[in-house]
């Protein structure tokens, strides 16, 4: 039996300011679906907000820990640089007009032949919309009232700052089974060979990167897909065979996770490998996703306390 390949991106998790501002932007301006409202299981008086397509499929998910009292962060070494989303070709003019109407400063660029928009979210997190027809998603969330007819399809290629003398490229190509498909100056694009969406990662290779500081507007970690628990165990064992320290399996309710961070193999970036299932409809119906606070069983006895501590969230106005 051939060894599995790591099948693309699962999600990216970032830190934001106020939860209501985060919801207003990602659901109200970008038009993503809030697929889960829960808490940080390690810090349950903090929300954990999930956004994605119609059911939050792996590869479409962006999640946030709103920490309004945390200082502003600064992207740098050991931290993913930007969250990129795929949008259909021909939609950038509409997206640019929509974002500018929301008082966003928008910049245009091109990368590997694809035009894109660059801007920052209200917490200062760098975002990109990449115009491409390579990752269509028939289950993309179409928000009522959003003036852009062609919604976000999935994640695209996050930018990972890595050092020229580390082994991050080897991690992807020799262990995870990805291939390098393009190169432009110091940027190398890697692709998961069998992923239908969210299949790219860009390595920004330099001798040095500026130092970073975790805080609002920065990315906490990037997660990759394991199809199931058996495949996740394979990756856990494979990492340990390469002397990479990896955690035990963590129950995140909607998926199971393992984490690793290594100065040589990941340039200090925190990586996660998360299972595809059980998914976000495990405790809510498809139609009701994201509307009410969901807690794991071990926190349910604290519901009243936590609901009092967490700020009230209102659906965004458009």
Does residue 27 form part of some domain? Answer: yes
Query: Given phi > 0 = left and psi -120 to 50 = alpha, else beta, which region is 14?
Result: beta
Contact at 8 Å (CB) between 91 and 147? no
Contact at 8 Å (CB) between 87 and 150? yes
On the 0-12 / 13-18 / 19+ scale of CB atoms within 10 A, 253 is: middle
Q: Look at the chain and report how many structural domains it folds into.
A: 1
State the sign of the Cα–Cα–Cα–Cα dihedral 253, 247, 85, 37: positive
| CATH for 100 | 3.10.180.10
Q: Which run of H or E residues covers position 19?
A: helix 19-23
Contact at 8 Å (CB) between 12 and 60? no
Per residue in 30-52, pLDDT (tens digit) is 999 999 999 999 999 999 999 99
Does residue 4 form part of some domain? Answer: no
Token pair belonging to 62: 């962006």
Quote the DSSP letter at residue 233.
H
Does residue 160 form part of some domain? Answer: yes
Share of the chain above pLDDT 70, in %: 98
Within 10 angstroms of residue 71's Cβ, the number of other Cβ atoms is 10
Cα separation values, 12 from 54, 79, 216, 315, Å? 17, 11, 15, 23
Is the pLDDT reported for residue 58 higher than 60? yes
Q: Report, as an integer, the average pLDDT of 148-176.
A: 95
Instruction: Label residue 317 by pLDDT band (50, 70, 90).
Output: low
Domain that holds residue 121: 9-309
More confident residue, 127 or 5: 127
What is the 3-state secondary structure of 23-55?
A: HHHHHHHCCCEEEEEEEECCEEEEEEEEEECCC
Does residue 202 form part of some domain? Answer: yes
HSE toward the beta carbon, residue 317, CA cutoff 13 A? 0
For residue 50, which phi and psi values (nearest 5 degrees)?
-115, 135
Does residue 54 form part of some domain? Answer: yes
Q: Report, as an integer, the average pLDDT of 302-307.
A: 98
Report the alpha-carbon distance of residue 65 to residue 46 in Å, rounded. 7
Q: Report, as an integer, the average pLDDT of 65-69.
A: 96
Query: What integer pLDDT is reported at residue 194 of this predicted model?
Result: 85
Among 97, 164, 76, 139, residue whose Cα is nearest residue 281: 139
> Cα 132 vs. chain centroid, distance in angstroms?
18
Instruction: Label residue 1 by pLDDT band (50, 70, 90).
Output: very low
**Residue 293, SS3?**
strand
Does residue 223 form part of some domain? Answer: yes
> Across the chain, what does the average pLDDT equal?
95
Does residue 316 form part of some domain? Answer: no
Per residue in 247-281, pLDDT (tens digit) is 999 999 999 999 999 999 999 999 999 999 999 99
Does residue 294 form part of some domain? Answer: yes
Report the alpha-carbon distance of residue 317 to residue 15 in Å, rounded. 23
Instruction: Label residue 316 by pLDDT band (50, 70, 90).
Output: confident
Q: Report, as an integer, the average pLDDT of 309-313.
A: 97
């Amino acid at each position: 039996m051939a060894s599995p390949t790591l099948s693309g991106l699962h999600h990216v998790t970032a830190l934001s300011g106020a939860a209501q501002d985060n919801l207003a932007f990602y659901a109200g301006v970008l038009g993503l679906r809030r697929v889960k409202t829960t808490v940080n299981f390690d810090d349950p008086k903090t929300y954990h907000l999930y956004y994605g397509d119609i059911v939050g499929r792996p590869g479409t998910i962006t999640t946030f820990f709103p920490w309004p009292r945390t200082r502003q962060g600064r992207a740098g070494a050991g931290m993913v640089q930007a969250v990129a989303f795929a949008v259909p070709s021909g939609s950038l003019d509409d997206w640019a007009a929509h974002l500018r109407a929301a008082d966003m400063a928008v910049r245009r660029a091109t990368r590997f032949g694809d035009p894109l928009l660059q801007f920052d979210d209200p917490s200062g997190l760098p975002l990109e919309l990449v115009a491409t027809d390579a990752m269509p998603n028939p289950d993309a969330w179409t928000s009522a009232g959003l003036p852009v007819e062609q919604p976000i399809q999935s994640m695209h290629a996050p930018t990972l700052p890595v050092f020229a003398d580390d082994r991050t490229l080897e991690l992807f190509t020799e262990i995870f089974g990805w291939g390098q498909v393009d190169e432009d100056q110091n940027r190398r694009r890697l692709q998961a060979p069998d992923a239908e969406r969210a299949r790219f990662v860009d390595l920004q290779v330099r001798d040095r990167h500026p130092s970073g500081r975790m805080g609002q507007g920065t990315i906490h970690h990037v997660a990759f897909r394991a199809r199931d628990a058996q495949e996740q165990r394979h990756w856990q064992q494979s990492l340990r065979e390469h002397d990479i320290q990896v955690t035990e399996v963590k129950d995140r309710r909607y998926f199971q996770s393992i984490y690793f961070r290594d100065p040589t193999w990941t340039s200090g970036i925190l990586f996660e490998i998360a299972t595809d299932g059980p998914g976000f409809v495990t405790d809510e119906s498809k139609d009701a996703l994201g509307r009410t606070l969901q807690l794991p069983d071990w926190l349910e006895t604290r519901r009243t306390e936590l609901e009092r501590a967490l700020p009230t969230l209102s659906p965004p106005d458009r």
